[in-house]
Amino acid sequence: MSSDNIEKAYSKENRELCLSGKGVTKVFGFGNRKTLAVDNVDFEFYTGDLISIVGESGSGKTTLIKMLLGLTSVTDGKIFFMGKERDIRTRQKKKEYWKGIQAIFQDPFSSYNIFNKIDSVLLDCIHMRGGRRLKKKEKIEMMREACSFVNLKFDEMTNKYPFELSGGQMQRLMIARIFLLRPKILLADEPTSMIDACSRATILDMLLKLRDEIGMMIIFITHDMGLAYYVSDTVYIMEKGKFVEYGSADEVVLNPKAEYTKQLLNDVPKIHDPWEFSRNRREVTAPD
């Protein structure tokens, strides 16, 4: 997408509501073993936006993502996809829904069927997009292009199983799938937390490039406020199942209103300050 087109796509008048929710709630368990994981949240996510949801462990981020994807049932509330109330009551409707919304999870090893070789993982994506009747040569060309987008060599991938790849390579394969599937929405649940810093930067860059190329909306889940500020247009802060604050990344990070947001920001290391490490790690202090 050219920078003009990007500006147009992100301008308020042109923004298309692609995913929204009203009173979305998830309760696990019953009686005194009940957990209110997501508590009556409302949200409006627009095409082309990169939204981060930030919150500490157990705040309900993954549960919300799983509800959005249709992997976990919604206890209460409604989810709207492309302006209409979502209907995923049958297997067929769910499959149709997943053409528009896809996810990458924290642990890439859990995302693949271990019996499927890499080429069949990619081939499935082509078939899902209606390419079953394409010639073998065309399919291989598409898979080659997807691999090259994520800097993987297709010829080295064929006949391998996903578990024969490194964590970083697996996450890149996940992105190659997204490249082929071209969903409207990508849910990325801490996709970089299990890989080293160098691969992390590459994965993030690839996601941003993909967003610009296909105008996809990304919901990025993270604990890391610094990362959220760096990558997102909009930031939602989640505490104990609720959104306590949301707004543009600048508004939320530079002018936080909720106490919880301020607390999360205090936990971000200040990279430009010199650090003094005392013997007790809890007493690490940055000089004024």
Ligand X SMILES: Nc1ncnc2c1ncn2[C@@H]1O[C@H](COP(=O)(O)OP(=O)(O)OP(=O)(O)O)[C@@H](O)[C@H]1O
User: Does 63 contact ligand X by CB under 6 A?
Assistant: yes
Interface segment toward ligand X; rule CB under 6 A; list 50-58, 92-100, 167-175, 273-281: 50-58
Q: Which stretch binds ligand X (CB under 6 A): 6-14, 28-36, 141-149, 278-286?
A: 28-36
The interface region with ligand X, picked from 29-37, 164-172, 180-188, 274-282 by CB under 6 A, is: 29-37
Neighbours of 16 (CB within 10 A): 13
Binding mask 195-224 for ligand X (x = CB under 6 A): ----------------------------x-
Which region, judged by CB under 6 A, interacts with ligand X, from 56-64, 123-131, 168-176, 259-267? 56-64
Closest to 55 (Cα-Cα) out of 258, 247, 222, 230: 222
Q: In degrees, to the nearest 5, what angle opens at C-alpha 154 toward C-alphas 149 and 157?
A: 125
* Residue 226 CB, nearest approach to ligand X (Å): 16
Task: By CB under 6 A, tell whether 34 contacts ligand X.
Answer: no
User: Who contacts 76 (Cβ-Cβ below 8 Å, separation ≥6)?
Assistant: 23, 24, 25, 27, 40
Q: State the DSSP H helix or E strand holding residue 208, giving kind and residue range, or none if neither.
A: helix 197-214
Query: 166 - beta bridge partners?
Result: none
Q: Which of Mg ion, ligand X, none does 57 bind, CB closer than 5 to 8 A by kind?
A: ligand X
- Residue of 180, 230, 179 lying closest to 200 (CA atoms): 230
Question: Under a CB-based contact definition with an 8 Å cutoff, are residues 177 and 121 in contact?
Answer: yes
- Contact yes or no for 225/268 (Cβ under 8 A): yes
**Strands ordered across the beta sheet of 76-81:** 35-46, 17-28, 76-81, 84-85
- Site stretch for ligand X (CB under 6 A), options 51-59, 154-162, 208-216, 271-279: 51-59
Nearer to ligand X, 58 or 83 (CB): 58
* Interacting residues of 230 by C-beta distance below 8 A, sequence separation 6+: none
Of the residues 20, 47, 52, 62, which one makes contact with ligand X according to CB under 6 A? 62
| 35 interface partner picked from Mg ion, ligand X, none, CB below 5 to 8 A per type | ligand X
Q: Which residues of 77-112 are buried (b: 16+ CB within 10 A; e: fewer)?
A: bebebeeeebebeeeeeeeeebebbbbbbbebeebb
Is residue 192 near ligand X by the rule CB under 6 A? no
Per CB under 6 A, 53 contacts ligand X: no
Closest residue to Mg ion in the complex (CB) = 62
Residue 164, number of CB atoms within 10 A of its CB: 12
Helix (H) / strand (E) containing 138: helix 136-149
Among 32, 57, 92, 266, binds ligand X (CB under 6 A): 57
For the bound state, the minimum distance from the C-beta of residue 223 to Mg ion, rounded and expressed in Å, comes to 9
28 binds ligand X (CB under 6 A): yes
Residues from 154 through 213 that contact Mg ion (CB under 5 A):
none
Q: Between 52 and 71, how does the x/- string for binding to Mg ion read (CB under 5 A)?
A: ----------x---------
Residues that bind ligand X (CB under 6 A): 28-29, 35, 37, 55, 57-63, 223
